[in-house]
Amino acid sequence: MQVKLATDRGFCFGVEDAIEIAEDAVNRHGAGEVVAFGPVIHNKQVVQRLEEAGLDQSGDLETVDPSKAVLIRSHGAGPETFEQAEKRGLNIVDATCVLVKRAQNVVKQLHEGGYHVVMIGDPNHPEVRGVIGYAPKVTVIDRGTDLATALPYRERLGIVAQTTHSPEHVANMIAEILKRPYREVKIVNTLCLEVTRRQEAAIALAKEVDVMFVLGGLHSANTKEVARLCIEAGGDTYHLETWDQFDPSMVEGKKIAGVTAGASTPEWVITEFTEKLEAM
Ligand code: SF4
C-alpha cells in the first residue's frame, strides 16, 4: 500500500510542554505525589504512560491530599480552581498551554473593556469551561446553537473561539452574528495556528488519496475536527486511536492511503501505523 503522510501532524508544542512539565513534576515530587484533575491530554496511550510513570490523573480538588502537588492540564482551568487550590495550600504545577492562557486573558480584558463576551466552542470541553471563568458572564455558542435565542442583546460583543476550532467554522458563526443588530463587534483571534496548519495539511492530503486515516484520541477535539474536515473534503476517512483498530476492509480496493494525526497524538503511534500499513 502506498502511504502518504500529512506535512503537519501530531504533537503540538503545547502538548509537548504539558507532558514535559508533568514528567518533571513527578521526578521532583515522586511517583504518586502529583495529581491532575483528569487526563493531561486527550490521548489514551500518553495518559497510560504518564500513569505508569506515577502521575495520578483521577484527582479531585475537594478531596486531594494537601501534601500532594496538583497539575493544571494543558486545557487550563478557571480562576476558581486556582483560588481553591491556594486556599487549601496545594502546590500548583501549571501546564496550561500559553495559547489557552492568552484566550483566558483576552476574555478577562474584553469583559473589563465593557464587552459582553461570546465564546464559539463546545461548552463541555475543559478548555472552554476554564476560559469562560475569566469573566462573570460568557455566552458559549456551539455548532447547533440557535443564535436567535442564545445571544443576548448587548450593544458591544467581544468574540473569542475555542483554540481548536477551524477558521472556516468560526468565520461562519461570526457571519451569522453580524447579521444581527449589534452596534459593535470585536473579534479576537484565539485560534491555534498549530491546529490550523494540521487541518490545512489534512484537507490537502484527503483530496489526493483514496482513503484517509486520522490518528488520535476519540475524545480529542482537535482530532475530531481534522477527521470532520477530511470527510468534508470528500474522502473515505477513518478516525482511529492506534493500529489495533485497523481492519483490512478499510483499504479494500484502495491504492493510496493518507495518514495524519491530531495535536495530542505521539509520533510513535503514527510511525507504527504507517509502517504496518505500508507493509500490507
Ligand atoms: S493545540 Fe494549540 S492551543 Fe492546544 S495545546 Fe496545542 S499549541 Fe496549545
Cell of 68: 500532594
| pLDDT single digits (tens) 204-254 | 999 999 999 999 999 898 999 999 999 999 879 999 999 999 999 999 999
**Confidence (pLDDT) at 154:** 79
Task: Give the residues across from 141 on adjacent strands.
Answer: 120
**Confidence (pLDDT) at 59:** 84
Asked whether the beta carbons of 44 and 17 are under 8 A apart, the reply is no
For residue 37, the CA-to-ligand 1 centroid distance in Å is 19
| CB neighbours of residue 46 within 10 Å | 22
The b-or-e profile of 60-83 (16+ CB within 10 A means b, else e) is eeeebeeebbbbbbbbbbbeebbe
**Confidence (pLDDT) at 42:** 85
Structural domains in the chain, CATH included, are 2-10+194-278 (3.40.1010.20), 13-96 (3.40.50.11270), 99-187 (3.40.1010.20)
| pLDDT single digits (tens) 79-94 | 999 999 999 999 999 9
pLDDT above 80 (res 144): no
Atom of ligand 1 nearest to the CA of 74: 5
> Which residue minimizes the CA distance to atom 2 of ligand 1?
192
**Catalytic residue at 127?**
yes
| CB distance 194 to ligand 1 below 6 Å | yes
Kind of pairing, strands 91-94 and 55-56?
unpaired
Kind of pairing, strands 69-72 and 91-94?
parallel
**Confidence (pLDDT) at 145:** 78
% helix / strand / coil in the chain, to the nearest 5? 45, 20, 40
Mean pLDDT of the chain: 94
Residue among 8, 9, 11, 12 to mutate when testing ligand 1 (max atoms within 8 A of CB): 12
Phi-psi region of 10 (alpha: psi -120 to 50; beta: other; left: phi over 0): left
Return all residues near 76 (Cβ < 8 A) that are at least 6 apart: 96, 97, 100, 101, 104, 126, 127, 130, 131
| pLDDT single digits (tens) 164-215 | 999 999 999 999 999 988 999 999 999 999 999 999 999 999 999 999 999 9
The model's pTM: 0.90
pLDDT above 90 (res 126): yes
pLDDT above 80 (res 146): no
**Confidence (pLDDT) at 235:** 78
Give me the mean pLDDT over the 105-129 stretch. Answer: 96
**Confidence (pLDDT) at 246:** 98
**Confidence (pLDDT) at 36:** 95
| CB distance 99 to ligand 1 below 6 Å | yes
Atom of ligand 1 nearest to the CA of 100: 3
